[in-house]
Every structure is written in C-alpha cells, then in structure tokens.
C-alpha cells in the first residue's frame, strides 16, 4: 500500500503551504506524489452547467475530463460510511501508482500525521493528545516527544519522510 501521511493543524496554521513545499521537495528527489484534501463539507467540484457537471448531475458514476496535459476524474463516493476520516484509506486505490500520498486534514484518521503549529495559536499543540502525530512543524519553543522542525526546515522534514516511510 502507498504510504499516506496527513498534514494537520489548526485553521490558518500553514498546512497548505507546507503541503506545497513538501510536494516540491519530494518531486526533486524523484518521488511520485499524490495528494488528498479533506473537505469537511460537501463540495461541488465542477462548475454548474458545464458538460462534465451535467454528466454527473444526470447520474454518471464517474466523469473524466481530459486534455492533452491533464486528467481529472470525479466519482461518486462508494464508501459512504458517514465518517470521511475512514474514507482516506479507500481513496488510496485511486493513487496506486504514487510513491507517497500527502493528505491535508484528516485529524482523526489512523494514518501518521505531521502537525503544523504556530506560536500565535492559543490552543495547545494537537500532538500532546494524539499518538498518531509523528512530527511537528512549528515556530514555537515547545517541548514535544516527536521530532520538531522549523517552518522553513522542509528539506529536513522531507528527509524524515523519506527515511521513515519511503
């Protein structure tokens, strides 16, 4: 199974920025990287009125939109357990040709997590109460029991991911 690592943290902590940086560093090392973004709320992934939206609205189980350089697939979620955190493992089947999957969100999943924590956040780091967090990226001076990286230590964090999971 392709390793899945979730990037978690409070709102506006910098999760998306870290995911972008990790993708760049992992790609430099030659890895194929897939991502999954958790959406706590239902979302329209296609523009209303477009042909692909109309196909999906008509009941298609899957719709692919292809051009010479991109492919997008929208599928109905077959694993409707009501808990989107349980669905993360089932999503990996769509990314089997990747070396690693970086998920953004999924705080409650069973997969390893890297927390992004900022010193301006009033709440304590999530890693104090979550044994699936394997590292923290922060600008705060805190004592934690997992490896701690600075906000700009992306190369070192990428090395940690490579040595631990790849």
| Of residues 123 and 94, more confidently modeled | 123
d(CA 14, CA 21) in angstroms, rounded, equals 11
User: Over the stretch 64-73, which tens digit does the pLDDT of each residue have?
Assistant: 888 888 888 8
User: Over the stretch 4-48, which tens digit does the pLDDT of each residue have?
Assistant: 999 999 999 999 999 999 999 999 999 999 998 876 655 556 678
What is residue 43's predicted lDDT score, i.e. its pLDDT? 56
DSSP string, 68-87: SS-EEEEE--S---S-TTTT
What is residue 46's predicted lDDT score, i.e. its pLDDT? 67
Q: Is pLDDT at 83 greater than 70 in this prediction?
A: no
What is residue 113's predicted lDDT score, i.e. its pLDDT? 97
Write down all domains in the chain, each with its CATH number in brackets: 4-40+84-165 (3.40.50.300), 42-79 (no CATH)
What is residue 86's predicted lDDT score, i.e. its pLDDT? 61
d(CA 33, CA 24) in angstroms, rounded, equals 9
What is residue 84's predicted lDDT score, i.e. its pLDDT? 57
- The CB-side HSE value for 115 (13 A sphere, CA atoms) comes to 29
Counts for the chain of helices (H) and strands (E), in that order = 4, 8
pTM for this entry: 0.85
User: Over the stretch 139-158, which tens digit does the pLDDT of each residue have?
Assistant: 999 999 999 999 999 999 99
d(CA 14, CA 161) in angstroms, rounded, equals 18
What is residue 114's predicted lDDT score, i.e. its pLDDT? 98
DSSP string, 111-122: S-EEEEE-TT-S
Phi and psi, residue 137, nearest 5°: -115, 120
The mean pLDDT of the chain is 87
C-alpha distances (whole Å) from 24 to each of 17, 126, 136 are 11, 26, 19
C-alpha distances (whole Å) from 14 to each of 18, 24, 29, 123, 152 are 6, 16, 23, 16, 11
Q: Percent of the chain at pLDDT above 90?
A: 55
């Amino acid at each position: 199974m392709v390793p899945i690592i979730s990037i978690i943290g409070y709102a506006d902590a910098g999760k998306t920025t870290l995911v972008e940086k990790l993708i760049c560093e992992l790609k430099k090392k030659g890895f194929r990287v897939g991502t999954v973004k958790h959406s706590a709320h239902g979302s329209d992934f296609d523009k209303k009125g477009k042909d692909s939206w109309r196909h999906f609205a008509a009941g298609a189980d899957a719709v692919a939109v292809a051009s010479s350089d991109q492919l997008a697939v929208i599928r109905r979620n077959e694993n409707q357990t009501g808990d989107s955190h349980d669905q993360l493992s089932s999503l990996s089947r769509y990314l089997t040709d990747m070396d690693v999957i970086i998920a953004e969100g999924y705080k409650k999943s069973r997969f390893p997590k890297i927390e992004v924590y900022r010193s301006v956040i009033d709440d304590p780091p999530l890693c104090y109460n979550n044994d699936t967090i394997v590292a923290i990226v922060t600008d705060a001076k805190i004592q934690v029991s997992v490896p701690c990286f600075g906000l700009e230590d992306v190369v070192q964090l990428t090395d940690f991911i490579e040595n631990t999971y790849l």
